[in-house]
Copies of this chain bind each other. A is one copy, B any other.
């Protein structure tokens, strides 16, 4: 099996824009696209009434678009300058290269690979890395190279260095932590800002840190939740992409909370990853704007 996600050329282009609100942004950008011959198929724009932050996503078809990448960049440059914008330009032809990091539990890894095989994730999954040897066969089934990098407790940084080298060697665009239970150093994280997605198996910020299902059971909550977020140096504090909950009761012990939680983890992680891969997420400080998919 190899990646089923070969987009048909010439595909589409997505502009992800944020700046301080001012009149003329939508008109300027949509005119630029139109004059280049692009056809806008999806546009979402929102201005925060409180702080005047402006967010926009434009997706347009490249079929009749006359500007190549350099030409589009050249046309965008003065616009970016004029409005003081942050503007990301994404081509659906450039399928993001993705790596999955896993530890012992297989459910999230398994789910991501299965969705990818069904065509649900527009990514090129280049490698799976784990501190356990267990998932080599699983990765192999989907034709994805598997790298076992065990953690030596005496020299934890060494393994992290190996992981970083593997990711850089494969020119990875997105790192997905699929129940990867090793804490990443601030150094590592700062090298991958906005490019690592994790799930915390609680409804953040309700139960931070370790063993959230034990915490949830102890507190007697009636719903448990899962949070998909970008990883930052502040553990459990990164920008939230998606969350979901499921109902529980006094009948659930920790094991059964964990079991119900797995179903949530799988779905929330997949939704967060898909939103990122479809260029629908803008990070704004410690919050995100997630455009509808």
Contact = CB atoms under 8 A, between A and B. Distances in A.
A23 B27 contact: no
A50 interface: yes
Interface string A22-65: 11111110110111011111111111111000011000000010
A292 interface: yes
Interface residues of A, number: 72
B259 A240 contact: no
A41 B34 contact: no
Nearest to A36: B23
A205 interface: yes
A128 to B, nearest CB: 17
A131 to B, nearest CB: 20
A127 B19 CA distance: 45
Given A40-B45, A114-B107, A290 B249 contact: yes
A223 interface: yes
Nearest to A206: B206
A243 B220 contact: no
A40 B26 contact: yes
A46 B39 contact: no
Contacts of A45: 40, 42-44
A60 to B, nearest CB: 9
A43 B43 contact: yes
Interface in A219-277: 219-223, 225, 239-245, 249-251, 253-254, 259, 262-263, 267
Contacts of A219: 204-205, 240, 286-287
A33 B241 CA distance: 33
15 contacts: A23-B34, A23-B37, A26-B40, A27-B30, A27-B34, A30-B30, A41-B47, A43-B43, A55-B250, A203-B203, A205-B207, A223-B225, A223-B244, A223-B245, A250-B288
Given A43-B43, A222-B242, A245-B245, 13 more contacts: A23-B39, A27-B33, A42-B45, A44-B45, A50-B253, A55-B250, A118-B259, A203-B206, A203-B225, A220-B286, A220-B287, A222-B243, A223-B225
Interface of A: 21-28, 30-31, 33-35, 37-50, 55-56, 64, 106-107, 110, 114, 118, 120, 137, 141, 203-207, 219-223, 225, 239-245, 249-251, 253-254, 259, 262-263, 267, 286-290, 292-293
